[in-house]
Amino acid sequence: MASISERTFIAIKPDGVQRGLVGEIIKRFEQKGFKLVALKLLHASEDLLKEHYIDLKDRPFYAGLVAYMHSGPVVAMEHHPWQ
């Protein structure tokens, strides 16, 4: 049995938000046994994105990733497995 401290971060990227897929994506995670415990729609700052993706900073796609994630709103969610 999973402990309540076991959490999963999920982000729906700008294209998923723009295409209206938020509800379908949430549904699929819930069908897999995850319980949504927090959700926030936000336009992440470049500083936040740079910090979030810091482990990728030396990769050639890093700047493009940060720019893409900053291009529109994202949905940030926290899930945990059903108890």
| Spans of all domains in the chain | 8-81
pLDDT tops 70 at residue 3: no
Give the C-alpha separation, 49 to 30, whole Å: 26
Tens-digit pLDDT profile for residues 16-41: 999 999 999 999 999 988 899 999 99
Residue 56 DSSP one-character state: G
Give the C-alpha separation, 76 to 44, whole Å: 10
Confidence of residue 82 (pLDDT cuts 50, 70, 90): low
pLDDT tops 60 at residue 51: yes
Confidence of residue 1 (pLDDT cuts 50, 70, 90): very low
Count the helices and strands in the chain (H runs, E runs): 4, 3
8-81: CATH topology is Alpha-Beta Plaits (3.30.70)
Rg (CA), the chain: 14
